[in-house]
């Protein structure tokens, strides 16, 4: 009886393996073409420009006398290289949001910091660029370069500006669209 069960199982296994083999027969052949490029670096800012220090200047609280009052925009230069010619690229700034207006960059919390002031970021056309929002599309030239300026300025967010240190940190992300 034991031999009969073993023999029956052997035939069942052989039958299933035949069915499995039939499922593995070739139904079609599809060609996949893979392509790309290996470079020493991809589109981005030069290593020497990855840490930018932008001096927004010294301003009297007398000139910052009402909500929405701004200082003169200061350029933040960007030179991107090694991009694909004519490729569309955007930049996004991120950082700590101001509590009065989340579109603005908050000042670093320091014991002697200025109050009721934030930093407004502007695109290359000097239009407001809210934090975490893609810039207008920039296009690389035939050599794969983009040379542009973004801008930053102080902006009053609440009445009664108090003097002090007005520093902030932002990060920028480059995206190929």
Comparing 14-28, 69-83, 148-162, which segment has the lowest mean pLDDT?
14-28
**Which position has the higher pLDDT, 117 or 31?**
117
Which pLDDT value is given to residue 39? 53
Burial 120-130 (b: 16+ CB within 10 A, else e): bbbbbeeeebe
How large a percentage of the chain has pLDDT more than 70? 79
Rounded to whole angstroms, how far apart are CA atoms 71 and 105? 15
Q: Report all structural domains of the chain as residue ranges with CATH numbers, in order of start.
A: 44-176 (2.60.40.1090)
Tell the residue number behind the tokens 């029956």, with chain if given.
Answer: 8
**Which position has the higher pLDDT, 58 or 84?**
58
Rounded to whole angstroms, how far apart are CA atoms 62 and 67? 13
Residues 138-159 pLDDT 10s? 999 999 999 999 999 999 999 9
Which pLDDT value is given to residue 66? 93
- Diameter of the chain by CA atoms? 105
Rounded to whole angstroms, how far apart are CA atoms 120 and 105? 6
| pTM metric for this prediction | 0.75
Mean pLDDT of 55-65: 94
User: Which secondary-structure segment (H or E) carries 7?
Assistant: helix 2-23
């Amino acid at each position: 009886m034991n031999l009969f069960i073993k023999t029956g199982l052997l035939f069942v296994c052989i039958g299933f393996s035949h069915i499995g083999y039939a499922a593995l027969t070739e139904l079609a052949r599809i060609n996949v073409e893979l392509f790309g490029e290996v470079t020493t670096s991809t589109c981005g800012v030069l290593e020497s420009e990855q840490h930018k220090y932008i001096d927004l200047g010294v301003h009297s609280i007398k000139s910052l006398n009402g909500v929405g009052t701004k200082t003169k925009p200061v350029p933040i230069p960007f030179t991107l290289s090694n991009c694909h010619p004519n490729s569309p690229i955007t930049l996004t700034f991120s950082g700590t949001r101001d509590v009065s207006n989340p579109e603005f960059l908050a000042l670093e919390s320091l014991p002697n910091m200025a109050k009721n002031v934030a930093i407004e970021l502007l695109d290359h056309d000097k239009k407001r660029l809210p934090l975490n929002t893609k810039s207008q599309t920039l296009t690389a030239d035939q050599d794969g370069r983009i040379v542009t300026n973004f801008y930053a300025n102080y902006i009053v967010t609440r009445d009664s500006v108090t003097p002090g240190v007005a520093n902030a940190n932002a990060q920028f992300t480059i995206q190929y669209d």
